């Protein structure tokens, strides 16, 4: 296995620089062999971290040397990079959060959960020898994300197995589309997608319960609906696949909706979008007004993603 070794010295009087370099190396996951000697598996990210640390050290009156070696087997040193304590601390926080859930604390619980997901991502980035602990915490995070979403949005559909059939767009015009009232992320985004790309004259019906869906309405995002969760795809992603909406910017939006609905890998825009939608949902009581307001947010997001794709 290839390794990078950093050997550095800094004047003891320069406490600020010493702390800055130490924090940067600690955050990179480098192991400390002894004072001023750091080891890390070789990769472009690690090389960049060591290069930056070296420049900082030299600029502040110290010395730094980077060595590359492939003479040591991973098994001999992997214990220096054991992240089990980090995962255990995260597991304890997840258990505390789960035990404290109440109806009045869901928004705060969501914020805390997103913070824990961010911490998990940071740990996995420096978990060079992942084992069972990483898999267990990933599963626990996913389960808690789903649980909180179920509390926030009762009657959330269960995923079904099967293929997603392609639909003829012309057969889905001027229709009534029905879903559960008080829509949250997946339903808000799906309603926007329907109106924007599928059925511009769509009318929406908000159901007190899924079994109230009229036979002539197109249901989405509830059990036995025309469009609902299939496999690992949420309703928004199923609509994309059903109508062949494969533009990169819409796929990117699908990743964002997926994360906010059922968890997974966090896109950078997730926290901001979630807070905006929370604010809209808590301040607008009429569902047609809510999807109109949310639609403006999704329009802006689409424009931003389209611009990035073309840049």
Looking at residue 75, its pLDDT comes to 60
pLDDT tens string 146-173: 787 777 766 778 889 999 999 999 999 9
User: Strand, helix or coil at 289?
Assistant: helix
Q: Is residue 218 located within the same domain as residue 298?
A: yes
- Count of structural domains, the chain: 3
pLDDT category, 71, cuts 50, 70, 90?
low
- Angle, to 10 degrees, between the axis of helix 44-59 and the axis of helix 15-28? 180
Clarify whether residues 184 and 99 are in a common domain. no
Q: Do 185 and 295 belong together in one domain? A: yes
**Same domain (yes/no): 176, 253:** yes
102: enclosing H helix or E strand:
none
pLDDT at 272: 87
Residue 160 lies in a domain: no
Looking at the structure, tell me whether residues 185 and 305 fall in a common domain.
Answer: yes
Q: CA distances (Å), 304 to each of 23, 195, 245, 280, 301, in order?
A: 34, 19, 18, 20, 5
The reply to whether 14 and 104 lie within a common domain is no
Residues spanned by the domain of 301: 169-310
Nearest to 193 by CA among 279, 233, 253: 253
* pLDDT tens profile 255-271: 999 988 887 777 889 87
Task: Return the percentage of the chain with pLDDT > 90, whole number.
Answer: 71
Q: Higher pLDDT residue, 275 or 222?
A: 222
Q: Is residue 159 part of a domain?
A: no
**Alpha-carbon Rg of the chain, whole angstroms?**
25
Average pLDDT of span 276-282: 90
pLDDT of 74 higher than 60: no
The per-residue pLDDT for range 235-259, each reduced to its tens digit, is: 999 999 999 999 999 999 999 999 8
Q: Are residues 173 and 148 in the same domain?
A: no
Q: Tokens 């109508």 belong to which residue?
A: 243
The DSSP H or E segment spanning 91 is: helix 84-99
Distance, CA of 267 to CA of 282 (rounded, Å): 23
Q: Is residue 180 domain-resident?
A: yes
Mean pLDDT of 190-196: 98
The answer to whether residues 22 and 52 belong to one domain is yes
Helix ranges, 172-286 (H): 185-193, 235-242, 248-262, 270-283
- Is 206 in the same domain as 286? yes
Per the prediction, the chain carries an average pLDDT of 91
Look at residue 35 and tell me if it is in a domain: yes
pLDDT of residue 185: 93
Which among 153, 154, 162 has a CA at the least distance from the CA of 260?
A: 153
Residue 192: phi and psi, rounded to 5, are: -60, -45
Sheet containing strand 37-41, edge to edge, reads 31-34, 37-41, 3-9, 63-69
Q: Which range has the worst mean pLDDT, 102-106, 166-170, 203-207, 260-264? A: 102-106
> Average pLDDT of 52-70?
93
- Do residues 53 and 118 share a domain? no
């Amino acid at each position: 296995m290839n390794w990078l070794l950093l050997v550095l010295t800094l004047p003891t009087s320069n406490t600020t620089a010493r702390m800055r370099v130490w924090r940067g190396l600690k955050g990179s996951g480098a192991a400390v062999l002894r004072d001023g000697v750091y080891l890390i598996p070789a990769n472009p990210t690690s090389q960049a971290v060591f290069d930056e640390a070296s420049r900082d050290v030299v600029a502040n009156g110290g010395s730094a040397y980077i060595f590359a070696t492939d003479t040591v087997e991973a098994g001999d040193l992997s214990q220096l990079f054991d992240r089990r304590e980090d995962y255990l601390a995260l597991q304890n926080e997840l258990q505390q959060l789960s035990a404290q859930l109440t109806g009045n604390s869901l928004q705060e619980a969501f914020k805390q959960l997103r913070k824990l997901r961010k911490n998990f991502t940071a740990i996995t980035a420096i978990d060079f020898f992942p084992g069972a602990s990483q898999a267990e915490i990933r599963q626990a995070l996913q389960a808690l994300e789903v649980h909180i979403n179920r509390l926030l949005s009762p009657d959330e559909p269960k995923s079904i197995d099967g293929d997603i059939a392609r639909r003829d767009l012309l057969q889905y015009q001027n229709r009534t589309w029905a879903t559960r009232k008080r829509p949250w992320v997946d339903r808000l985004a799906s309603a926007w997608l329907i109106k924007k790309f599928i059925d511009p004259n769509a009318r929406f019906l908000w159901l007190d319960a899924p079994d109230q869906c009229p036979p002539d309405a197109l249901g989405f995002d509830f059990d036995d609906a025309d469009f609902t969760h299939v496999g690992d795809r949420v309703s928004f992603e199923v609509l994309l696949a059903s109508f062949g909406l494969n533009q990169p910017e819409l796929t990117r939006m699908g990743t964002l909706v997926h994360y906010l609905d059922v968890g997974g890998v966090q896109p950078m825009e997730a926290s901001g979008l979630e807070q905006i939608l929370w604010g809209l949902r808590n301040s607008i009581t009429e569902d047609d007004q809510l999807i109109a307001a949310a639609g403006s947010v999704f329009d802006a997001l689409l424009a931003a993603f389209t611009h990035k794709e073309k840049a």
